Structure 1
Amino acid sequence: MPCLQSARQTLPVQKVNAHFEVAHVLRQHWTEVENHPQINRWQLRTLSALKRCRTADLGGHVDACTECGTIRISYNSCRNRHCPKCQGKNREDWIAKREAELLPVPYFHVVFTLPETLNQLAIYQPKAVYDSLFEASWQTVRCFAKDPKHLGAKAGMIAILHTWGQTMSLHPHLHCIVPGGGLTKKGKWRTAKSKGKFLFPVKAMSKVFRAKYVKALKSRINPDKELISALFQKEWVVFAKRPFGHPKAVLEYLGRYTHKVAISNHRILEIDQKQTTFSYKDYRQGAQKLEMSIDNLEFIRRFTMHILPRGLVRIRHFGLLGSSAKKVSIPLIHQELGISIPEKEARILEVYNPRYCACCDKETMVSIQRIPKRGPPKAVFSSVPTQF
């Protein structure tokens, strides 16, 4: 069976800056941020990286075009997973790897959401709350998949953790991609009995999800009895969409969700001495686009809530799509379905190319000097345009 290779065509483009950035708010109020009692050391370290990203603080290099002589200064990125400016390349690299794992079957989109009752615990015990969310979601899908009434086979799942709502409020939920079928114990592919609609009944999934979550949470911490009682009194939400039209649509979906952060810089409309104004969609009003203005320190506080604990993995693979299982299961499923792995179609991606010269429209830029972290070299005159 031929190996699926990545075939991508990159279209060099100039980076387009947002007018306002999260970093601008951080620089403006950094003294208050450093002394904020609710910001821990790990969060402060992350915010510091975002504040310094693509500035002279991190150093950089001077590039020159070998054709026209254009000089450009480029500052280094922080590469932090919470940075609004550092996710483009990471996203494209991740999607390229997932292309080789696409199955020629329908995929379903399932969202597992935690109730607001857990928000306070998520602030103080984020790792326990989010690890339990991953475990309970997979155990719910696995439970229904094992049931012969629904599937009777081993399923797979890719889960992506989001902790925010449109206004940066705390709203922990998992976006899950589940193939519409599974492998039986005999290694035979079995298609889900969904009849082109939903994978499993969502009302039944909601109750199982709640029970699985409480069990997972208890295995990590000792929650109050009042909290457990409140959780069982709430109606939990499992949202399911109809399957994607084509496996390639899964990649487009993943590209939108995998490397998102709490807010993108392009959503920030204005920053003044007191407030930050940003756009958001109100899904209760048909995804109407609205604007919100909040105090700058409140904006920073909301953003900080979504900085994940150190080492917490926010994209996880389960079952057939797990890191150890997929090497065997993916070729086996293609073989079972009698469909060979197709040759890769070239994708044209608009990716920033540091060797691209906009003046010559060629890849003729070369690095001629490194910039230390203390700032730009004196030999470079002040009028040189800074490239971000």
Structure 2
Amino acid sequence: MIMQGVIKQIFVDNWEKFSEIYKGKIRANISREVDKMINCKSLDNGFIEFKCENCGHIKRVGFSCKSRFCTSCGKKKSEEWSDEMVARLINSKHRHMVFTIPQELRIYFARDRKLLSLLPKCSAKAIMSWFRDLNKKECFTPGIISVIHTFGRDLKWNPHVHLIVTEGGAGEITIWRNTKHINYTALRKRWQKILLDEIGINLKSGKKEFKKLKNKLYKRLENGFYVYGKGEIKTAKQAGKYVGRYTARPAIAQCHQFNIQKYGI
């Protein structure tokens, strides 16, 4: 049996003390989302009232917080997002790809989080440029969904991008051309150049220091930044559900609460 509300109770019991210890280090949006989760379905924030016509019994149900961080609301949002995304996807085979960056670049995205927007932009640009070079007259355009992840399996700061890409594209003349082979060697070098150029353009300071790092990365990583492809996703529905795991899902799933109780992890 899953223990409902365990994660929420941990925050109720410890968030205030935690906030005091790390005062000034917690971003405002994190505090807002935690407060929403703690007060989710609180009657103080409004409620719907139900009354039995026979016995007169009244039941009040508080409004949900609708925060992604909430283990209850986040799960529902994930399911709704996936269903909506499936309806918008091209009915084609898709491929899951991961575009990563070297450790030396992570500090730049930590200092200025606005730079994170470059990750989906540049990874999509790398893919689209490769597709268009297949036939410059046709200028094939694939379907792309990109999701930023800011942490790795060890939960440390590690910005990277997950992408769902159609195995094919629409041309200027041809309605659709299936493309099973994707050249990852070419993508790696394109990804490296496009991202490094964009970071250099968008840096507010330290451009001289970054230029030196840029030259070092080109020498050390001659084959470009690592791009990983996990293989095909056969249906649009499967693609929507798959990418939903990386975006609208709650930060901590309810199923993990059971593990905390049973195994102490």
Which category describes the TM-score, using the shorter chain as reference length?
0.7 to 0.9
Give the 3 Å change call, closer, same or farther, for CA 116–27 of structure 1 in structure 2: farther
1 CA distance for matches of 2:184 and 2:55? 62
Shifted more, 111-120 versus 225-234: the winner is 225-234
- The structure where strand makes up a greater share of residues is 1
Give the 3 Å change call, closer, same or farther, for CA 246–120 of structure 1 in structure 2: same
Task: Indicate which of 225, 245, 248 corresponds to 1:236.
Answer: 225
Using the TM superposition, give the Cα deviation of residue 260 of structure 1 relative to its aligned residue in structure 2, in angstroms: 2.1
2 CA distance for matches of 1:187 and 1:81? 41
1 CA distance for matches of 2:17 and 2:60? 29
SS in 2 for 1:74: strand
Pairing of 1:236-385 with structure 2 (within 5 A): 236-268=225-257
SS in 1 for 2:127: helix
Pairing of 1:1-388 with structure 2 (within 5 A): 18-22=4-8, 24-25=10-11, 27-34=13-20, 36-65=23-52, 71-128=58-115, 130-148=116-134, 152-192=139-179, 194=180, 199-222=181-204, 223=207, 224-225=209-210, 226-229=212-215, 231-232=217-218, 233-234=220-221, 236-268=225-257
1 CA distance for matches of 2:170 and 2:18? 55
4+ aligned runs moved over 6 Å, structure 1: 67-70
Q: Which amino acid aligns with 2:147?
A: I
TM-score normalised per structure 2: 0.79
Residues 92 and 166 of structure 2 are in contact (CA less than 8 Å); yes or no, is this contact kept in structure 1? yes
2 CA distance for matches of 1:26 and 1:123? 28
Q: Which amino acid aligns with 1:38?
A: K
Using the TM superposition, give the Cα deviation of residue 241 of structure 1 relative to its aligned residue in structure 2, in angstroms: 2.2
Q: Which amino acid aligns with 2:198?
A: A
Give the 3 Å change call, closer, same or farther, for CA 106–42 of structure 1 in structure 2: closer
Q: What are the superposed Cα offsets for residues 35-59 of structure 1, whole Å, 9 maximum, x if unpaired? A: 5231133332233223222334534
The answer for the alignment partner of 1:348 in structure 2 is none
Using the TM superposition, give the Cα deviation of residue 191 of structure 1 relative to its aligned residue in structure 2, in angstroms: 1.7
1 CA distance for matches of 2:104 and 2:250? 23
Percent same amino acid among aligned pairs?
Answer: 23
Give the 3 Å change call, closer, same or farther, for CA 54–134 of structure 1 in structure 2: same
How large is the RMSD of aligned CA atoms in angstroms?
Answer: 3.2
Residues 24 and 51 of structure 1 are in contact (CA less than 8 Å); yes or no, is this contact kept in structure 2? no
Using the TM superposition, give the Cα deviation of residue 132 of structure 1 relative to its aligned residue in structure 2, in angstroms: 0.9
SS in 1 for 2:76: helix
Give the 3 Å change call, closer, same or farther, for CA 57–27 of structure 1 in structure 2: farther
Q: Which amino acid aligns with 1:78?
A: C
- The structure where helix makes up a greater share of residues is 2
Using the TM superposition, give the Cα deviation of residue 136 of structure 1 relative to its aligned residue in structure 2, in angstroms: 1.0
Residues 168 and 263 of structure 1 are in contact (CA less than 8 Å); yes or no, is this contact kept in structure 2? no
2 CA distance for matches of 1:201 and 1:89? 37
Using the TM superposition, give the Cα deviation of residue 278 of structure 1 relative to its aligned residue in structure 2, in angstroms: 9.0
Residues 70 and 250 of structure 2 are in contact (CA less than 8 Å); yes or no, is this contact kept in structure 1? yes
Give the 3 Å change call, closer, same or farther, for CA 131–78 of structure 1 in structure 2: same
Give the 3 Å change call, closer, same or farther, for CA 122–31 of structure 1 in structure 2: same
Q: Which amino acid aligns with 2:145?
A: I
Residues 135 and 216 of structure 1 are in contact (CA less than 8 Å); yes or no, is this contact kept in structure 2? no
1 CA distance for matches of 2:235 and 2:78? 20
Residues 22 and 265 of structure 1 are in contact (CA less than 8 Å); yes or no, is this contact kept in structure 2? no
Q: Work out the number of aligned pairs and report it.
A: 255
SS in 2 for 1:240: strand
The answer for the alignment partner of 1:327 in structure 2 is none
Mind listing any 5+ residue stretches in structure 2 that lack a counterpart?
none
2 CA distance for matches of 1:23 and 1:113? 35
Using the TM superposition, give the Cα deviation of residue 23 of structure 1 relative to its aligned residue in structure 2, in angstroms: 5.6
1 CA distance for matches of 2:60 and 2:96? 43
2 CA distance for matches of 1:269 and 1:123? 33
